[in-house]
Amino acid sequence: MESSGSVSLPPSPAPSYTFPFLSNLSQPSTSPSISPSPSVASTALFCLLLSLLSLLGIVGNLYTLALLLRRRRGARRRRSGAGCCLGPPCFGASSPSLSPSSSPTSSSSSSSLHLQVLSLALADLLYLSTAPFIVYDSLALDWAFGELGCRLLLSLDLLTMHASIFTLTAMSLDRYRAVADPLATSSSPSSGLLRVALAWGLAVALSLPMMITLHLEDVENQQRKICVPAWDEQSSRAYLSTLFCTSILGPGLAIGALYTALGRLYWVSQTQPAWAGGSTYPPRAPRPKVLLLILGIVLAFWACFLPFWIWQLLPLYQPDVMGSVPVGTEVTVNRILTGLTYGNSCVNPFFYTLLTGKRRRSVTGRQGAVVGRPAPLCQKSSSLR
């Protein structure tokens, strides 16, 4: 979470380190040379903007969930209607041969993609649900949600951040496998669900240390409480460095390698004839629009979270630089970068809607090419039951 208006530098020469997902972590300063916290007007403006971002993001992600559920019901109706006509009129004079693009793997791959988009939308909704607590904490300058709220609410940031990037990594890996070897790709709903569950399981494991060590402490000489982890600076540096590697650096390298390989496959598909490959089913040409939409989600994640991480790691590795930063400036930067991370969850539904819509049109087009023109008659007859 962001550092609220009551955050200040410690009175000792030790570096002031701010955890990226905690409010009121640093101890208050008694030094008269440090500038005061931001004004009430700036705090009110921050709370207003954060509330608007949260509202827009929640509406957008709920729309994405409703869209996915509606398309899932439509896919079920199409599957149930496909069996109503099994004679030659359904397929014309002869059945088309099975190709990688018209195989059942295509619809199961679409189902796996929808599960991953569902996972991303749920992570965004959970993250956005913490905004009202940040707003209250910024206005009240006190933690009022108890130790249970301290453990759960502040750990949600870590949980949802890792769940999102792990799901994006799995999504990029699925796109690569679907392009590189479409017939060997196992994209059944159960395998897609397993990958999503694995992403969330790893996210929970990485957020557990924060959840376990968080507790409430009384602020010295002040009648208020703050939510802090029970570890020293060295432990916090090791933990935050690990989180940076698992949420930014590691997935970034993996996704970068996958998209480099996809770019190579796309170049080969455009320059080399299909019969030149040694395999029976050569890699199919990637669909640039789908890949660019997934890459857009990834780049939006990095653009919103990388500056935040740099700002949080800076006092751990460059304490002299942060020691001279006034409290008001520190809190203002924290608020701007916090708003940036919430803006990511606000923009994501735009990509989700385009991605699922693009995938649905491509799958529907392939099914229409295989089934032929009499297919709507089957769907209409099945709807009368």
Report pLDDT digits (tens) over 137-167.
Answer: 888 877 888 888 888 888 899 999 999 999 9
Whether residue 140 lies inside any domain: the answer is: yes
Q: Which pLDDT score is estimated for 283?
A: 53
Say what angle helices 104-128 and 40-81 make with each other, to 10 degrees.
160
CA distance 102 to 375: 15
The tens digit of pLDDT for each residue in 294-348 reads 889 999 999 999 999 999 898 888 888 877 888 888 888 988 999 999 999 999 9
Q: Which pLDDT score is estimated for 265?
A: 80
Range of the domain at 182: 40-72+109-359
Please check whether residue 309 is in contact with residue 244, taking contact to mean a CB–CB distance below 8 angstroms: yes
> Rounded mean pLDDT of the chain?
75
List the CATH number of the domain containing 217: 1.20.1070.10
The tens digit of pLDDT for each residue in 359-383 reads 454 444 444 444 444 444 444 444 3
Rank 244-258, 268-282, 305-319 by mean pLDDT and report only the highest. Answer: 244-258
CA distance 366 to 370: 6
Whether residue 28 lies inside any domain: the answer is: no
Whether residue 4 lies inside any domain: the answer is: no
Whether residue 7 lies inside any domain: the answer is: no
The 3-state secondary structure of 98-110 reads: CCCCCCHHHHHHH
Q: Is the dihedral of CA 259, 264, 270, 273 positive or negative?
A: negative
The tens digit of pLDDT for each residue in 215-242 reads 888 877 777 777 888 888 888 889 999 9
CA distance 51 to 343: 11
Whether residue 238 lies inside any domain: the answer is: yes
Q: How many domains, the chain?
A: 1
Whether residue 198 lies inside any domain: the answer is: yes
Whether residue 366 lies inside any domain: the answer is: no
Whether residue 227 lies inside any domain: the answer is: yes
Residue predicted with more confidence, 288 or 308? 308
> What pTM does this model have?
0.76
